[in-house]
Amino acid sequence: MAKSLTQMAANIVAAQASHVSMSADEMDAALKKVFEALNQIKVIEETPAGEAVDDELARLRANPIKSIQRTYVINLEDGSKYKQITAKTLAKFGLTAKEYRKKWGFSARQPLSAKALSAKRRKVAKDLGLADKLAAARLARSKTAAERKAAPATEGKAMPAKKKKAAPAKKKAAVAKKKAAPAKKKKAAPAKKKKAAPAKKKKAAPAKKKRAPAKKKKAPAKKKKAASKRKKG
């Protein structure tokens, strides 16, 4: 005689309780859960293949969160099973991941992958500290967005700043030109004075000194003539 679903569920829970300590409430919850699972399996077995797929898919579409199981996730578009529903898979139905979640009532952050795979990814992300990095990136993006919103209000003040920076550059260029011009005059003027002035002084001064002694030599000759006249007289 075949066992009833209740007996099968009781045997499964009893086997589980023999290995793990369970309270009365935990055993009661486990019994209900096992019974429900066995009942679903029985319905699938007794229903023809085509109808079973349609009924199962209809049931999952009514409660989409149940399409995500521990080792697989069911695509609510055609009932196919995957470890993860990718963008490439959804593209066949003309959907993106965001549109798929919205269509079937998933939250925006719901992973479209098996529970085991999602848990593994969370563990890896935690070990790498990705949560903190993601929070820092979001904060940086929010600050950038706030600065961009505030930018139009300060555009009028920013324009004079550019003009102030350009003006000193022109003044510096003008000052540099003024400094360069006197430098050329200083080099040319001393060169002319040094060549012309010493040349005139050296030629003229010795000539005057030589003529003066010549006049003094003639004076004694006249005195000698006068003396000789006096003697003759």
- β partners of residue 82: 73
* pLDDT for residue 75: 93
Is 78 contained in some domain? no
Is 167 contained in some domain? no
CA distance linking residue 38 with residue 68, whole number of Å: 19
> 158 by DSSP, 3-state: which?
helix
Confidence of residue 173 (pLDDT cuts 50, 70, 90): low
DSSP string, 109-141: T--SB-HHHHHHHHHHHHHHTHHHHHHHHHHHH
Is 23 contained in some domain? yes
Is 1 contained in some domain? yes
* pLDDT for residue 68: 92
The overall longest dimension of the chain from CA atoms, in Å, is 201
Residue 140 has pLDDT above 80, yes or no: yes
**What percent of the chain lies above the pLDDT cut of 70?**
59
Is 115 contained in some domain? no
Least confident of 84-93, 142-151, 174-183, 186-195: 186-195
Is 56 contained in some domain? no
Assigned token pair, 181:
């011009």
What would the pLDDT profile of 101-133 be if each residue is shown by its tens digit? Answer: 999 999 988 999 999 988 888 888 888 887 788
Is 34 contained in some domain? yes
* pLDDT for residue 183: 46
Number of domains comprising the chain: 1
* pLDDT for residue 25: 86
What would the pLDDT profile of 175-223 be if each residue is shown by its tens digit? Answer: 566 655 554 444 544 555 455 445 454 454 454 445 555 555 555 555 5
CA distance linking residue 149 with residue 231, whole number of Å: 131
Q: How crowded is the C-beta side of 152, counted as CA atoms within 13 Å?
A: 2
**How many helices and strands, by DSSP H and E, does the chain display?**
7, 2
Is 204 contained in some domain? no
The domain of 14 spans: 1-46
* pLDDT for residue 88: 92
Mean pLDDT (whole number) for 42-64: 73
Query: Is pTM, for the whole model, over 0.75?
Result: no
